[in-house]
């Protein structure tokens, strides 16, 4: 079986085509695949659809989705935030979005997670109570089950998922640490090709307890170990 | 009104936290609501849940001792408590929708007399920031709101009907503002407790909905932070 | 906070009323809450609706759901098997079911798992491709998404879930070992009250790595440690 | 026909297993299909998946060395392989429905020329045993069937249309029986390989659907177990 370990981030992202749909893990920093994003920025793919909790951070943190957006590589965003909750926090995204130069779909965060989960679970659609009676349910089917209203939501899938994990074995089995986990496990299942950047070196098969695998290797295609001089979590992202 | 002073954020947070029962799973929204965890009731164990995948996490990490992979939903570094559990995002919201969160404390721009509230989109803006608020609003067994009583311009935030796009219809049951504690009932807002030095008329004047003032109106209960 | 540790199986099941709906974990043995089932049999509750992979084993194994069925305690079964695949394998259940003395709903196993998962995830209903064009989809809504047909399925919830786990801490956080896990995590979330029998003693809070919790304690209400002379996995069940 | 002998179960299993490609995720149904794992292709790594929550599990456990909490979907004790992963039941079926299983090998009562198959309910019975078959049938990228060519009474199992309630419509692409290897095409069954000593006419006589016999019909390829 072909090794899943790539020597460089550049090699791992080399084949990503213009117009790809990519899911990015990460929540307020932890789990953000910053080194993969940096490589993708250098690689040059454009016209991307990105699926992520936010369209990047608001502050001055290490590289994240905002870098791709600022560089004009993103055509469409699916996220739980298309504006900060405070009007003083504005990014390039906000300007582009208000000017109509970038498309965006605003999705409640739990619905975002569940749609990604459904995409990796072969579910055709599902009914959630979230958003009923609000703007986010406009134009969507609302249906009652056992006396409660639910809105119909569709699965999300992607060409690629990018995530950061803590530990891996050569089969591609992943472990995350604390809230680094967030969208990683569900995005890995919803994407055709999953790229993981890793805090530490790749262990031999058998070194991770089978009961403690967070993302089985069958969902992981490419792994790159973040070198000591790579981008590490710690400086704040959004 | 010389002696009247609006309630501090921590006083509001303490008052809300006094409602938490032993063993409750509590989700605190970004900003003001996070102050609730500063109030510690010695005989009650509270389990704080965060929608980015934590159950039973602890207080803010001291600077220099952060685990950079351990943040709450507000992006603040927190410390683990013994017995903490980590979930992925789908499972974290599954438990919220399934009713395992006993109370969600959220900030808001507006709360209406019918229990609607608005906290994700400002007027005239194209984008919005929903985050986990809509899931918490429909999933949590109780939804409490903390907010300034009025906007910076003095406009009321407690209204007959929300003017802004709502986060969820009819879910809020308790609101702490800088002027008091309000219960949302089928009859509308009931002023349960009032900030020291204020009169019900003064509070009514700053409010955009008719207030019910019960005979047993009390002064705002001041919880104390340990 | 009240302790979740019960001293006896009898105490843990004492309040279960006639007519309750109970989910039972277990697949081909591992994960089956045999000691809780034995206590429930002694307790006497009847008219039960049971949700489980099978209505008990076919062979002569240690106690499982078949004991409750044989004793006439079960009114209705929801399971992925209402007959063995081989006609020579017959149980009391088969006789009762064919005689119309017990109701049963036959559900494809993945749909059973997904319905339980939906019940513990606040999902109102979902569309699955499984069963389309077969007898199990008869009378159900079939709908096309992106050119593929799916059948609408409803969530399953229960008054109680019973499961077996390997290790627990006093907060109720559970770990399972190997295929003991099966339905445990999803049933614990779909039931109002979850009862767990444990292979080993209850550890202090903090002794289980928070990253390695399979079922968080907020889903677990009552735990009983299986004593050395209790019923252990090993002899085969169905 | 003196030298003709029906294919053994292991021969059928070996032939099916020869189709597995390097890196494939393979799910083996209860009974005959489990024999596929006895065939080991030295240059191909196969990952066996079991719908009760295992990925990359190993061979049957030797008696006396069983882990009583480690069974495959057939309830047999198996051993872990290095790099195994355990999932809960919902996640195990999620991956099946999402198309991560490259092939599901299932037993069947009947297979039809249109790719339908039946394996969960016998005629005249009220109950049935679906297990994971319906999910695997619609979720796996390939569905292969292994079965006796005829029933104990000599009735054909390869049919124009299934008589029994089907497990899934139009999914089977390859069938190994005791008499040969059959591809299911848009034209119907193509007899690709035939058991040694049998003639196409003899196979057709035992079959309930029209067989297409191609010019390049081969003798059944005998894989050998290591």
CA–CA gap between residue C109 and residue A236 (Å, rounded): 44
Tell me whether residues B99 and C2 touch, CB distance under 8 A: no
Residues of C in contact with D166 (CB under 8 A): 133-134
pLDDT value, residue D224: 60
Q: Report yes or no: D138 and D168 within 8 Å, Cβ to Cβ.
A: yes
Return the residue of C nearest to D132 by Cα.
Answer: C109
Is the interface score ipTM higher than 0.95? Answer: yes
Residues of D in contact with C232 (CB under 8 A): 68
pLDDT tens sequence across C169-195:
999 999 999 999 999 999 999 999 999
Taking only residues 114 to 143 of chain B, the set having a beta carbon closer than 8 angstroms to any beta carbon of chain A reads 119-122, 125-135, 138-139
Residues of C in contact with A210 (CB under 8 A): 178
Chains B and D touch (3+ CB pairs under 8 A): no
Please say whether the dihedral angle defined by the alpha carbons of residues B177, B179, B180 and B185, taken in this order, is positive or negative.
Answer: negative
Q: Sheet containing A74-79: which strands, arranged edge to edge?
A: A103-106, A74-79, A48-51, A21-24, A158-165, A191-198, A222-225
Q: Is the pLDDT of residue C75 over 80?
A: yes
Segments forming the whole domain that contains residue D73: 9-219
Q: pTM for the whole thing?
A: 0.97
pLDDT tens sequence across D66-121:
999 999 999 999 999 999 999 999 999 999 999 999 999 999 999 999 999 999 99
Q: Which residues contact A112 (CB under 8 A, 6 or more apart)?
A: A51, A53, A78, A79, A80, A156
| DSSP string covering D6-63 | PPPHHHHHHHHHTTPPTT-EEEE-TTGGGGGGG---TT---EEEETTTEEEEEEEPPT
Residues of B in contact with A214 (CB under 8 A): 88
pLDDT value, residue B2: 47
- D185-190 contacts, C-beta under 8 A, 24 or more apart: D185/D212, D187/D212, D188/D113, D188/D114, D188/D212, D189/D113, D189/D158, D190/D214
pLDDT value, residue B224: 60
* Interface contacts A/C by beta carbons within 8 Å: 68
Please check whether residue B162 lies inside any domain of the structure: yes
CA–CA gap between residue B186 and residue B113 (Å, rounded): 8
pLDDT value, residue C57: 87
Return the residue of C nearest to B55 by Cα.
Answer: C216
Please check whether residue D3 lies inside any domain of the structure: no
The mean predicted confidence, pLDDT, of chain D is 95
Tell me whether residues C120 and B87 touch, CB distance under 8 A: no
pLDDT bucket at C106, cuts 50 / 70 / 90: very high
Enumerate residue ranges in chain B where pLDDT < 50: 1-2, 225-226
Higher pLDDT, C70 or D2: C70
Please check whether residue D2 lies inside any domain of the structure: no
> Could you give the maximum distance between any two Cα atoms of chain A, in Å?
56
Domain CATH for D87: 3.40.1080.10
DSSP class of A179: G
C99 in contact with chain B, both atoms CB, cutoff 8 A = no
Number of domains in chain D: 1
Residues of C in contact with D69 (CB under 8 A): 30-31, 166, 177-180, 233
Tell me whether residues B45 and C1 touch, CB distance under 8 A: yes
pLDDT value, residue C85: 66
A210 in contact with chain D, both atoms CB, cutoff 8 A = yes
pLDDT value, residue C236: 45
Neighbouring chains of A at 3+ CB pairs under 8 Å are B, C, D
pLDDT value, residue B101: 98
pLDDT value, residue A237: 40
Residues of B in contact with C169 (CB under 8 A): 83
pLDDT bucket at D131, cuts 50 / 70 / 90: very high
Catalytic one of D5, D19, D43, D51: D51
Name the phi and psi angles at B6, rounded to 5: -65, 155
CA–CA gap between residue A25 and residue A214 (Å, rounded): 14
Residue B3: half-sphere exposure toward Cβ, Cα within 13 Å: 3
Tell me whether residues C1 and B22 touch, CB distance under 8 A: yes
pLDDT value, residue A238: 39
Written as six digits, the tokens of C108 are 């494809």
Neighbouring chains of C at 3+ CB pairs under 8 Å are A, B, D
Residues of B in contact with C173 (CB under 8 A): 83, 85
Return the residue of A nearest to C155 by Cα.
Answer: A145
Chains B and C touch (3+ CB pairs under 8 A): yes
Q: Which of D22, D55, D94 sits opposite A122 (nearest CB)?
A: D94
- Give catalytic residues of B, as residue numbers: 51
Return the residue of D nearest to C55 by Cα.
Answer: D129
The mean predicted confidence, pLDDT, of chain C is 95
Tell me whether residues C109 and D130 touch, CB distance under 8 A: yes
Tell me whether residues C123 and A125 touch, CB distance under 8 A: no
pLDDT bucket at D49, cuts 50 / 70 / 90: very high
Taking only residues 147 to 206 of chain C, the set having a beta carbon closer than 8 angstroms to any beta carbon of chain B reads 169-171, 173, 189-190, 204-206
Q: Which of A83, A114, A234 sits opposite B93 (nearest CB)?
A: A114
pLDDT bucket at C61, cuts 50 / 70 / 90: confident
pLDDT tens sequence across A75-134:
999 999 998 767 777 788 988 999 999 999 999 999 999 999 999 999 999 999 999 999
Domain range annotation of chain C: 9-225
pLDDT value, residue B226: 45
Tell me whether residues C173 and B85 touch, CB distance under 8 A: yes
Q: CATH class for domain A9-225?
A: alpha beta
Q: Is the pLDDT of residue D123 over 90?
A: no
Residues of A in contact with B68 (CB under 8 A): 29-30, 232-234
- A226-234 contacts, C-beta under 8 A, 24 or more apart: A226/A35, A226/A164, A226/A197, A226/A198, A226/A199, A230/A35, A230/A197, A231/A34, A231/A35, A231/A38, A231/A62, A231/A63, A232/B68, A233/A29, A233/A30, A233/A32, A233/A34, A233/A164, A233/A180, A233/B68, A233/B69, A234/B68
* Interface contacts A/D by beta carbons within 8 Å: 64
Q: Is the pLDDT of residue D174 over 60?
A: yes
- Per-residue burial over D180-209, b if 16 or more Cβ lie within 10 Å, else e, is bbbbbeeebbebbbbbeebeeeebbebbbb
pLDDT value, residue A41: 98
pLDDT value, residue D56: 97
The alpha-carbon gap from C125 to the nearest alpha carbon of chain D, in Å, equals: 15
Q: Is the pLDDT of residue D2 over 50?
A: no
pLDDT tens sequence across A119-147:
999 999 999 999 999 999 999 999 999 99
Separation in Å, CA C186 to CA C114, C117, D28:
9, 5, 24
pLDDT bucket at C237, cuts 50 / 70 / 90: very low
Return the residue of B nearest to A130 by Cα.
Answer: B135
The alpha-carbon gap from D116 to the nearest alpha carbon of chain A, in Å, equals: 21
pLDDT value, residue D27: 98
């Amino acid at each position: 079986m072909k090794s899943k370990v790539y020597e460089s981030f550049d090699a791992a992202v080399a084949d990503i085509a213009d117009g790809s749909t990519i899911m990015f893990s990460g929540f307020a920093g932890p789990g953000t695949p910053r080194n993969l994003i940096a490589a993708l920025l250098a690689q040059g793919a454009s016209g991307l659809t990105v699926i992520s909790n936010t369209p990047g951070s608001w502050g001055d943190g290490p590289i994240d989705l905002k870098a791709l957006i600022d560089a004009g590589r993103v055509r469409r965003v699916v996220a739980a935030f298309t504006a900060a909750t405070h009007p003083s926090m504005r990014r390039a995204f906000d300007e582009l979005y208000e000017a109509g130069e970038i498309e965006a779909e605003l999705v409640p965060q739990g619905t975002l997670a569940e749609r990604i989960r459904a995409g990796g679970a072969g579910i055709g659609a599902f009914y959630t109570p979230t958003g009923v009676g609000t703007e986010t349910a406009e134009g969507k089917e609302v249906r009652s089950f056992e006396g409660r209203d639910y809105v119909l939501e569709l699965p999300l899938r992607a060409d690629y998922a990018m995530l950061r994990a803590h530990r891996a074995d050569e089969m591609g089995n992943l472990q995350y640490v604390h809230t680094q986990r967030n969208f990683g496990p569900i995005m890995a299942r919803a994407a055709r090709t999953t790229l993981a950047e890793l805090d530490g070196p790749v262990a031999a098969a058998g070194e991770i307890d089978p009961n403690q695998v967070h993302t089985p290797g069958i969902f992981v295609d490419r792994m790159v170990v973040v070198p000591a001089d790579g981008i590490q979590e710690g400086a704040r992202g959004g | 009104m010389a002696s009247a002073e609006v309630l501090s954020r921590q006083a509001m947070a303490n008052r809300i936290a006094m409602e938490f029962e032993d063993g409750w799973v509590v989700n605190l929204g970004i900003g003001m609501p996070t102050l609730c965890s500063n109030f510690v009731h010695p005989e009650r164990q509270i389990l704080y849940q965060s929608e980015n995948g934590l159950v039973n996490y602890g207080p803010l990490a001291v600077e220099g001792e952060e685990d950079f992979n351990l943040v709450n939903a507000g992006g603040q570094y927190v410390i683990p408590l013994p017995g903490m559990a980590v979930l992925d995002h789908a499972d974290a919201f599954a438990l919220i929708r399934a009713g395992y969160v006993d109370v969600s404390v959220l900030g808001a721009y507006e709360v209406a007399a019918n229990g609607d509230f608005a906290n994700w989109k400002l007027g005239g803006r194209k984008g919005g920031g929903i985050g986990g608020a809509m899931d918490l609003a429909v999933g949590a067994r109780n939804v409490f709101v903390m907010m300034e009583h009025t906007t910076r311009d003095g406009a009321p935030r407690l209204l007959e009907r929300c003017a802004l796009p709502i986060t969820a219809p009819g879910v809020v049951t308790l609101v702490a503002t800088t002027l008091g504690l309000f219960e949302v009932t089928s009859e509308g807002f009931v002023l349960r407790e009032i900030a020291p030095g204020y009169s019900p008329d003064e509070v009514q004047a700053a409010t955009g909905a008719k207030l019910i003032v019960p005979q047993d109106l009390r002064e705002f209960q001041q919880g104390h932070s340990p």
